[in-house]
Chain A
Amino acid sequence: MADALRIQDLRKDFRLGFIPKTYKILRGITFAVREGEIFGYLGPNGAGKTTTIKCLLGLIHPDAGTIEILGRSYRSPRARAALGFLPENPYFYDYLTAREFLSFTGDLFGLDRDEKAARIARLLALVGLERAADLPLRKYSRGMLQRAGLAQALINDPKLVILDEPLGGMDPLGRKEIRDIIVRFKDEGKTVFFTSHILQDIEMICDRVAIIVGGRIVRAGALRDLVSERVLFTEAVVAGVAPGAFAGLGESVSVQGDRVLLRLYDESQVDGVLDLVRSNRGRLLSLSPRTETLEDIFVETVTRT
């Protein structure tokens, strides 16, 4: 499969202050996003995620490195013709309505009148803004602005969609809708590159991820390779047994009334708890094994780095 986005040894320093001090923001970023996949780009605040995106959109000039978008240099506006971008906290002309704003962005791609009208109608329906289409954007909530931003990112029917924190500020229902839209992109053969702080969402929909810390990619690969199915511990919620009876059987996390939440680190402890519940005529309310999540890997990677 060909690469939709290829970044090689990308470096960027900023010189700030009255007596300029150099801050190394990107220290040799290298990764590739394959055509047709959903790629998650993770990192703590200030790691260099947005700087990477700004470099590949040509908003920031890198000091070194190469960026190829669908086989073309990022410098070429033709490379951006097949690209859709949703910025973090979208800022638009707030006096325009969503319909006018989409029409304006359509003009920037040179769409003809009929095609533009058809795409605007389709996109407003896709992001659920049909009823608010003729309201000025300043009257929109943050979630609605995010939807309008997503619609403008799709006006050119892009092959590669870059989304910077697309799920920020959305309610749970809105997040699910946006996730569904992103998955639909993949079904349509589009490539999606997105950043998010909400790791559960990334885990749910991404094929591959890269983790950036301090301007370096510290981990990258397919989610199924990074996240093992190994059971880290088992959580048991037990009622009707005195908390003191579990001494030596794992870790008691909390006690609420006659309920005890236990964290058990091996199977013999699980058997021990089950025996104790039976012998004391207690009740086992839940028993859930916890496998490794992307969040565990992220926290471990960031802490270690």
Chain B
Amino acid sequence: MKIGAIAGITFKEAKRDRVLYLLFFFAALGIVASRVLALLTVGDRTKIIKDVGLASISVFGVLMAILIGTGLVYKEIDKKTIFTLLAKPLHRAEFILGKFLGLVLTLFVMTAAMAAIFLVLVYVHTLKIEGALLVAVAYLFVELVLITAVAVLFSSFSTPILSSLFALGFTLIGHLSWGLDLVVQKMTPGLGRTLVRVLATVLPDLENFNFKTEVVHGLPIPPGIYVSSLLYGLCYTAFILALAVLIFRRRDFV
């Protein structure tokens, strides 16, 4: 109930943010522009539309999560609205979870809207409803949920600009960290290899949620991968949120 109230007010606040609509506009523009790009490209035009469309949803979804998420908790502290909230019988953990869920709800609505535009465009081009594309979008959303948790974590102790940089860094590292597994394979056993292996384990691997290539090219995906990717996303999100609560509980609001 209390988490729901905080989530509701966060959703209300997020949907008033002009940045959200600006990003949504560019995402929609990117999706629609994929059809123009397809006309200019030699090869399978449908694949270009799907590739560019999914990439638009991914890039602008991540930007929404970071740019709005990093200001969420900070704004409450900066505008001092938090004084009134935490004076109520509300655990600080409930506050953080409410903020997180409010933004997740906002991103869900935005992702659904972007996905709808994308599916309509694909339908216009192929005259088929391609449900498989929704799998890729769903896992993009799981990635957005994790990035939202990271944005809330940084927002709980840092300024929006620094938090945005940290969260963007997390996202970039998350998409490049799979390369560390290849490095481990090529290294000779020893301390260095152990260190790189630890790093590869600790750093997030956001490529776990990337099913774009498989879906666009119609490649088979073993069912176990779906489950393990979802579990990975949920566990990592829970870990990041636990960290955010731990930091937030220790804060003084002067």
Binding site for B on A (CB under 8 A): 14, 54, 57-61, 77-78, 80-81, 83, 85, 87, 89-93, 95-96, 104-105, 107-110, 149, 152, 162
Contact = CB atoms under 8 A, between A and B. Distances in A.
B79 A91 contact: yes
A25 to B, nearest CB: 10
Interface residues of B, number: 27
Nearest to B6: A108
Interface of B: 1-2, 4-6, 8-9, 12-13, 16, 79-91, 250, 252-254
B84 A85 contact: yes
Given A93-B9, A107-B1, A58 B86 contact: yes
A164 to B, nearest CB: 9
* Residue of A58, A108, A162 ringed by the most chain B CB atoms within 10 A: A108
Contact of A93 (B1, B81, B250): B81
Contacts of B13: 93, 95
A126 to B, nearest CB: 18
A81 B87 CA distance: 9
B84 A92 contact: yes
A107 B87 contact: no
A107 B2 contact: yes
A59 B12 CA distance: 25
Given A107-B2, A108-B89, A152 B9 contact: no
Contacts of A60: 252-254
A70 to B, nearest CB: 12
A80 B5 contact: no
Nearest to B98: A108
Given A107-B1, A108-B5, A87 B80 contact: yes
B85 A92 contact: no
Q: Which 4 A-B pairs have the closest CB atoms?
A: A107-B5, A77-B89, A85-B87, A91-B80
13 contacts: A54-B254, A61-B252, A77-B90, A80-B88, A80-B90, A85-B83, A91-B79, A91-B83, A93-B9, A95-B12, A107-B1, A108-B5, A152-B84
Nearest to B88: A108
A4 to B, nearest CB: 16
B89 A78 contact: yes
A92 B81 contact: yes
A90 B84 contact: yes
Given A87-B83, A91-B83, A104 B88 contact: no
A77 B85 contact: no
Given A77-B91, A81-B89, A59 B83 contact: yes
A152 B4 CA distance: 19
Nearest to B95: A108
* Residue of B5, B82, B88, B250 ringed by the most chain A CB atoms within 10 A: B88
A58 B12 CA distance: 27
Given A58-B87, A96-B12, 8 more contacts: A54-B83, A77-B89, A77-B90, A80-B87, A91-B84, A95-B12, A108-B85, A108-B90
* Residue of B2, B9, B13, B79 ringed by the most chain A CB atoms within 10 A: B9
A109 B87 contact: no
Nearest to B87: A85
Contacts of B6: 108
A252 to B, nearest CB: 50
A160 to B, nearest CB: 12
B84 A95 contact: no
A83 B8 CA distance: 24
B85 to A, nearest CB: 7
Given A104-B5, A110-B2, A57 B86 contact: yes
A76 to B, nearest CB: 9
A75 B47 CA distance: 57
